[in-house]
Amino acid sequence: MSQKPQTKKVDYRLVKYSPWLVHFNTGACNGCDIEVLAALTPLYDPERFGVKLSPSIRHGDILVVTGAVTKKAADRLKRLYDQMPCPKFVLAVGACAIDGGVFSKSYSVVGGVDRVVPVSAYIPGCPPRPEAILDGVVKLLEAIKKGEVESYGCD
């Protein structure tokens, strides 16, 4: 995944106004997971952006991935990504999802979500605050509106 996304004027209306998130943990310490969970509670009010947790992968728009990708979880991640309907985007949350974090040299860690699926946005932090996670989602939505992000694997 090294080419720059072309600015295609694709209509991502469904995603722009009400993105449904699917959360997947590929071997995290749960620090990022509880912050993702906290980001969906009333104090941070994600529903003002239309952000909701989706009941199933078939209805998901944005895949939120946490965790240093362990070798077994990598297959599941790929399968999950393939099952998502287009247009689809991936958010890598936390230092471990970006490049493996502190576990990058371990024998059972692949090291980074972008080695398995194409990633649309990265949210650094260990763990990132819930505000940062929501900020990342909003910035991704802005970029989608402007057509700066492409949904890979769709055509």
Partner 1 sequence: MYDMSVTKIVEIPVVTTEVPIGPQHPALHEPVMLKVYADGEEVVRVDVNTGYNHRGIEKLCEKNTFYRDIFIVSRVCGICNAVHANCYVRALEQILDVTPNRRAKFLRVLSMELERIHSHMLINAVMAEIVGFETLFMQIMLDREKVMKAKEILTGNRVSADFMIVGGVRRDIDDVKKEKIKEILLKLKPRVEYYVKVFEEDETILKRLIDVGKINYRDATSHSFVGPPARASGVRIDSRASDKYDAYDEIPFNVVTRNEGDSWARMMVRWSEVMESIEMGLYILSNLPLDGNPVPDERRLPRKFPPGEAFTRVEAQRGELTYYVMSDGKSQNPYRVKIRTPSFNNIVNSAFMYVGYSLADVPVILTSLDPCISCMERVTVIDLEKGTRERIPFKQLSSGGKR
Partner 2 sequence: MDATEKLRLVEGFALEKGVLKPNRKLFIVKPEDVRKIFESLVEKTGYEGFYLSTITGTDLKDENKVSLDYYIVLLPEEETIVIRTYLPRENPVVESIIDIVPGALAGECETYDLLGVLFRGNPFLKRGFFTPTELAEKNVYPLRKDSGV
What Cα–Cα distance (Å) separates residue 128 from each residue in 44, 97, 123, 124, 136?
Answer: 14, 12, 7, 6, 10
How many residues lie near partner 1 (CB under 8 A)?
Answer: 39
Tokens of 30: 């749960």
Of residues 20, 129, 145, 147, which one binds partner 1 by CB under 8 A? 129
* CB 103 to partner 2: min, Å: 13
**With CB cut-offs between 5 and 8 Å by kind, which of partner 1, partner 2, none does residue 33 bind?**
partner 1
67-86 binders of partner 2 (CB under 8 A)? 70-72
Is residue 115 close enough to count as binding partner 2 by CB under 8 A? no
* CB 99 to partner 1: min, Å: 14
Q: Which among 45, 37, 21 is positioned nearest to 137, based on CA atoms?
A: 21
Q: Which among 26, 42, 39 is positioned nearest to 109, based on CA atoms?
A: 26
Question: What x/- string results for residues 14 through 53 when contact with partner 1 is judged by CB under 8 A?
Answer: ---------xxxxxxxxxxxxx-xx--xxx----------
**With CB cut-offs between 5 and 8 Å by kind, which of partner 1, partner 2, none does residue 124 bind?**
none
| Residue 14 and residue 54 in contact, taking contact as beta carbons nearer than 8 Å | no
Tokens of 92: 């890598």
